[in-house]
Every structure is written in structure tokens, then in C-alpha cells.
Amino acid sequence: MDSPRTLQQNTGHNNAHTLVGVEHIPCDNQVRTLRDPIAPSDFDPVFVEGFERLEQHRLLAHVRVLGDQLLVAMDGTNSFSSQTIHGHNGLTRQLTNGPTLSDHAAMTPVIVCPGPSQVLALPPESIMPQDGHATQDCERAAGTRWIHQHAAHVAPHGVTLLGDDLSSNQPLCALVFQHRFTCILPCQPDAHATLSARVAFWQANDGMPEREGRHWNGRFTEVTMVRDLNDVRLRSGDDALPVHGFEITVVHAKTGEQLSHNSCITNHRLHNDNVVAVAQASRGRWKIANETNNVLKTKGYHLEHNFGHGKQSLSACMLSLNLLAFLFHTV
């Protein structure tokens, strides 16, 4: 697509003037200067309105699963990393026996579905130093802020959150349940000893029935085998949250090759009619890496390009604009 300057030179007019009435096209540096003070959260209402318009016209019906649920995968990604450029709102990390890196990162939630390849971006949450906090910001803290800020708009539409193993802890699960989300979260046995011991007990006593489903993935048939157990405690202690757990193993139907194996917790109560579907929905989280972050970094959006650090919020502002372009192209 031609820039406004190129259009002006070639045709005598440009989109900036035609669409929004800009008389003089600003230079790149001036554009960055104007954007630097803008908080990335100022763009959140645009994401929310896009989501609500799609809902209003029932254009998300085809990606609803598990009895009318939308799956929202949550994960963080770096938009820029450098050993020499240190932005005002960057994170820092020390490589083992190496230099200090400065990163710009954000939590980038998207609506996913196990079948369709498209994803729909929701408001991001920048991972950057927070006022009044001595410790460095992280994905877990950004995810917590996102839930507090957006649950009122998103949760009433019926949303199941998909996260990583770091999310399957008591404080975050309590927050998810409090805001009326459902969730499906990986729960690795070595990181959850109490839960794993209880699951192992029931497995040894034939208390976890195995159920099987078959799915054509476009190339071959996958066999999904699931063992589940309702009403187990997430951790030790009288205040431990009750959750439902399952193990999912996926194999190639013809060769028997194991394709994946995972353990998860959820607050979807599991039964014969839904357990395989819940297990398959848990695999939708990989789309945030393949269909979102990979697309943004390798398919023309140049998410990792240094668009500018600025002195305030320029880098985070540019990431939000990049995600908005991705959203509108998808829509």
C-alpha cells in the first residue's frame, strides 16, 4: 500500500487528507512525537467496540464451542529486544554470563477456535514497569490487570480463558472464578504435587474413566484419549479451590504415534458428553503462538521491528496500533 506522501506525489491527493482532513502530512519523527504521550490503553475501546459489533451481528457464532463459549487464549510476546537500545518502558533481563537485554512485551489475548485458522485480537496489556511497584512486571501480573479491566465487557458473553501452566495457581484461578469466567489451564504434575498425588490415587484405583474421540485434522485422523476427575483440590489447605482435572493424550490413528500429552484443570464440570470437547478446546491455545504472534512477526506486520521507543509509551502505542490493523484485516 502506498504511503500518503507517495500518493500525494503521484496523484496530487492522499488518504490522510481525503479520509481525516489532514492538510500537511507530518514526517515520521513528528508522528512518533505525537504518539509518544498516548497511553496504549486509550485504544482499548476500539478493540472492545469491534468485539461487541461482531457479537451484535452474531458473527462469532461459528467459533463458539462447549455450549456457546468463546475461547480466549492469553499469552505474552516480545515486540522488541536489544542489547544496545534501552527504552524508557522496557523490561530488563540478564543473559547467563552475557549482556543485559532490554525488552518490550505485552499480553495479547485473542479469540481462538480449534478449527478455523483466524483469530480475533482483544485489547492487549503492556508488560512494562508499573508505578508504585518495586518488582519488575511479568505476564502473570499483566494477565491479572487484564482480567480486572476487561471482565465486565468480555465475561458476560460466555468466555473460557486458556492460559499456560503459570496461570494454574490459586490466586489467579480465584480471580477468574470471581469475574465469572470459565477456564482451561495446563497443570503440569511436577509443579502441582498435591493435585498430582490425588489424581494418581484415583488412577490407581480405577477412579478415572478413559474416553476416546476421533478428529480429522485436515491431513489424518487424530485419536484423543481423555481421563478425567471432578472435584479435586488445587492445592493443600482448607481454603483450596475445588477444580476438575483431566489428562489428554493425542495419537495418530494409523501409526499410533503420540502427538501430544498434557494435564489440565478447568471449572467446566466434566461428564461423558463434554469431556472430549473440553480436552480438544484446551489445544486451541497453541493458536496464539502460531496464528497470532508468528503471523505478526513473519507475515508483513513486522511486530518485532523497532518502530521507536520514545520517552513515554511510544513502543506500546505502536504495538496496539499493529494489533488493531491485524484485527481489522481479520474482520
Q: Which of 184, 180, 189 is nearest to 156 (CA)?
A: 180
CA quadruple 13, 18, 22, 24: dihedral, nearest 10: 0
pLDDT at 287: 76
> Is residue 289 scored above 80 in pLDDT?
no
pLDDT at 157: 94
Q: Between 122 and 207, whose confidence is greater?
A: 122
Query: Looking at beta carbons, which pairs linking 270-278 to residues 24 or more positions away fall under 8 Å?
Result: 270/228, 270/229, 270/230, 270/244, 270/246, 272/211, 274/66, 274/67, 275/211, 275/226, 275/228, 275/246, 276/211, 276/212, 276/213, 276/224, 276/226, 277/65, 277/66, 277/213, 278/66, 278/184, 278/246
pLDDT at 268: 93
Torsions phi, psi of 183, nearest 5? -155, 155
How large is the average pLDDT for residues 89-98?
Answer: 66
**Structure confidence by residue, pLDDT tens digits, 115-162:** 777 889 999 998 876 655 556 778 888 899 999 999 999 999 999 999
Three-state SS at 135: coil
C-alpha cell at 93: 533481563
Residue pointed to by grid coordinates 511479568:
138
CB atoms within 10 A of CB 170: 15
Domain with CATH 3.90.350.10 in the chain: 36-330
pLDDT at 131: 59
CATH class of 36-330: alpha beta
Q: How far is CA 85 from CA 107, 130, 161, 309, in A?
A: 22, 20, 35, 9
Q: Which of 287, 290, 283, 285 is nearest to 246 (CA)?
A: 283
Q: Between 60 and 283, whose confidence is greater?
A: 60
In whole angstroms, give the CA distance from residue 62 to residue 64: 6
CB atoms within 10 A of CB 175: 15
Least confident of 36-45, 140-149, 255-264, 281-290: 281-290
How large is the average pLDDT for residues 5-15?
Answer: 76
Q: Are 91 and 102 in contact (CB under 8 A)?
A: yes
Residues 6+ away with beta carbon under 8 Å from 67: 274
Torsions phi, psi of 215, nearest 5? -145, 130
Read off the pTM.
Answer: 0.83
Q: Are 241 and 233 in contact (CB under 8 A)?
A: yes
In whole angstroms, give the CA distance from residue 172 to residue 201: 26
Residues 6+ away with beta carbon under 8 Å from 175: 144, 147, 148
**Roughly how many angstroms between the first and final C-alpha of the chain, as a whole number?**
19
> Is residue 51 scored above 80 in pLDDT?
yes
Q: Mean pLDDT across the chain, nearest whole number?
A: 82
Least confident of 171-175, 182-186, 309-313: 309-313
Q: How far is CA 273 from the centre of its chain?
A: 27
Q: Which of 88, 33, 131, 127 is nearest to 309 (CA)?
A: 88
Q: Between 22 and 73, whose confidence is greater?
A: 73
